[in-house]
Amino acid sequence: MRLGEIPIIVKDEVPIEGAPTSALGAYLHERGVSRRDFLKFCGLLASTMAISPALIPKIAEALENAKRPSVIWLSFQECTGCTESITRSHSPSIEGLIFDAISLDYHHTLQAASGYGAEEARAEAMKENYGKYVLVVDGSIPLDNPGYSTIAGISNLDMLKEAAAGAAAIVAVGTCAAYGGLPKADPNPTGAVSVADIIKDKPIINVPGCPPIPVVITGVIAHFLTFGLPELDSLGRPKAFYGQSIHDRCYRRPFYERGLFAETFDDEGAKAGWCLYKLGCKGPVTYNACATTKWNDGTSFPIESGHGCIGCSEPDFWDFGGFYQALSIPPGASGKNAVYAAAVGIAAGVAIGAMNKKSKADAAGLHQTVTVEELNQESQS
């Protein structure tokens, strides 16, 4: 049996042995997903992607008839948080099942196979679906020394280049793969870069977040299956999910407008749910769907739990000047610079002042005194 033919993620249900079902709809039906639940999921997708509800049947139809795509998932310099996010979203979820439904041919954390078997599965999937498979990458790629991160003795850079060559599209899941993320944080000891820094000739969809929202990951895959490549913003993110800032959609926004801010995490303002801007919330410059989609089965999102947004779906969020410093405060603003600047100013000011005084004195020194006799002589001549 091929690796892709068994459901990778362990669930309560018994895996169906035998011939794989190639259409997604039939597969989900086999897994006990009712039509009602399926349409609900399509509705959720439509609303998250800001698509007209009139298109829900179309999404459903397209998804039902979509072929289960072969997916190769490569994990480089990462913490497995992205995989955790999607597999432990809230079980059993339909987005989890959509994730199951893809033919995940290689994922070294989730697959049962190991060693040569695992690498063979990757090679086989790449060969069989050359030019058609979806390549999912999480984690950044170290460029300083290929030995910093290897899988089966293959450097991340080589494996990415090899796998990208035959991919129909690449999904960079998580901020590390999309923008370098935490490994790239100053001083970037491994020379970490993003997928887009290396691969230039394939469509790349960035799905940043630390981790990304589960439904956004599956939503992007569903979008790819139904409508093809989604529309991307300037940072390569699907506009459907990353089109609005956290700040725009934040339920605490009215407090921002009224100028009511929590000053500490336990003052009256914090208890009253006031805006967390002064406590370092990066919502105004962060684009993600947290405020609408929320986390843990729609329970809440960080701001709702009383902590400001850390901006995890933005490039270099780790170096954004401190999680607890207001957005307007520059990183590394120190009084030291001001003191040095003042010292330089004083020195230069005194020097210029001294020069001015000297030129005044010199001018005074050049004054020629005229005696009364001389004046009289001049008037007589």
Partner 1 sequence: MNDVDFLLWVKGPAFSAAMVIFIAGMVLRFFEILSLGKKVNYAVPKSDPVQGGLREILRRFGTDKATFQRSLLTVIGGYVFHIGLFVVVFLLAAHIALLKSIIGFGWPNLPTPVVDAFAVITMLTLIAVLAHRLQHPVKRFLSTPSDYVVWASTFVPVLTGYMAYHHLLLAPSLMLGLHILSVEFLLVIFPFTKLTHAFTLFLARWYNGVSMGIRGVKS
- Which stretch, 75-83, 103-111, 141-149, 278-286, contacts partner 1 (CB under 8 A)? 278-286
Name residues contacting partner 1, limited to 137-176 (CB under 8 A): none
Q: What's the CA gap between 198 and 218, in Å, rounded? A: 25
Residue 329 binds partner 1 (CB under 8 A) = yes
Q: What's the CA gap between 156 and 152, in Å, rounded? A: 10
- Provide φ and ψ at 38, rounded to 5°: -65, -45
Peptide bond preceding 69 in cis form (omega within 30 of 0): no
- Judged by CB under 8 A, the residue of 350, 358, 376, 377 near partner 1 is 350
CB of 270 to partner 1, least distance (A): 15
How many residues line the site for partner 1 (CB under 8 A)?
45
Q: What's the CA gap between 164 and 166, in Å, rounded? A: 6
Q: What's the CA gap between 220 and 214, in Å, rounded? A: 10
Residue 57 binds partner 1 (CB under 8 A) = no
Residue 325 binds partner 1 (CB under 8 A) = yes
Site string for partner 1, 330-349 (x = CB under 8 A): xxxx-x-xx-xxx-xxx-xx
Task: Determine contact, residues 209/313, Cβ cutoff 8 Å.
Answer: yes
Task: Determine contact, residues 300/213, Cβ cutoff 8 Å.
Answer: no
CB of 290 to partner 1, least distance (A): 17
Residue 318 binds partner 1 (CB under 8 A) = no
Residue 354 binds partner 1 (CB under 8 A) = yes
- Which stretch, 83-91, 144-152, 160-168, 257-265, contacts partner 1 (CB under 8 A)? 257-265
Residue 326 binds partner 1 (CB under 8 A) = yes
Task: Decide whether 100 or 314 has the Cβ nearer to partner 1.
Answer: 314
Task: Decide whether 228 or 353 has the Cβ nearer to partner 1.
Answer: 353
Instruction: Characterise 174 by phi-psi region: left (phi > 0), alpha (psi -120 to 50), beta (else).
Output: left
CB of 178 to partner 1, least distance (A): 11
Q: Report the interface residues with partner 1, using CB under 8 A.
A: 234-235, 245, 248, 256-259, 261, 277-278, 284-285, 314-316, 319-321, 325-333, 335, 337-338, 340-342, 344-346, 348-350, 352-354, 356-357
